[in-house]
Structure 1
């Protein structure tokens, strides 16, 4: 019931109740609220149990889509897109591919790549790129 209400909000409600009701009436108001919340929970539990008894196995089939909808509440689109784009997918033939169809090159032994005979230096430049003042 208190999934979205934190302790700070409860403290604000208690302080507001103290100012509005005063210290004399606040304990009786809190007891009244507790009794009514307990009654509502008992009514909801009784209705759920009665529905389960009347529907039998169909009740569990009815609850399954509702549980799926509750899982969607915790859905994080950023995490889903990141997982879809960057996680490897096993195609079953021993090769992992990306969901977009890109197959990474096979990993070779360490040290493979540029050799000493390669005369081209790595592409590192300390010179600034060309600047066109008319383009800005």
Structure 2
């Protein structure tokens, strides 16, 4: 719940609460907040258990897409594209197209690059009729 708050921010909040509430009311406010959070967690746990009881095995079918969305939320855009659109083949980003583990669209091995030899001074480049 407080995953985005660092120690510095927490200390600033604590000092602000001490100044606003005073040292005599601060312990009571902290205990009230902790009791309220505990009660909210119990309500959320009860609601989850009630959904599990009512939906039965369909509850897991409901949770699966939600867990996939949570995994995507933590991914970088590059990782999400690589995983879901390119089937894990990141050669488009790395430029390493000769890698043995990268595969073509049908799962076959990638076609190797053709080897070319440099042309001499009087040689004409080959022409591909089908390409023009």
Regarding TM over 0.5, the answer is yes
Q: How many residues align?
A: 101
Residues 55-104 of structure 1: per-residue CA shift (max 9 Å, x gap): 000000001111111111112124556835225413455x456xxxxx45
In 2, Cα distance between equivalents of 1:38 and 1:24: 23
TM-score by length of 2: 0.64
- 1:90 corresponds to: 103
Counterpart-to-counterpart distance in 2, 1:84 and 1:62: 34
SS at structure 2 position matched to 1:90: coil
Q: Distance in 2 between matches of 1:31 and 1:105?
A: 73
Contact 2:72 2:80 in 1 (8 A): no
Q: Which residue is 1:26 aligned to? A: 26
Mind listing any 5+ residue stretches in structure 2 that lack a counterpart? Answer: 83-89, 116-132
Detail structure 1 runs of 4+ shifted over 6 Å in the superposition.
none
TM-score of the aligned structures, taking structure 1 as reference length: 0.62
Match in the other structure for 2:74: 74
- Kept after mapping to 1: 8 A contact 2:18/2:26: yes
User: By how many angstroms is 1:50 displaced?
Assistant: 0.8
RMSD over aligned CA atoms reads 2.6
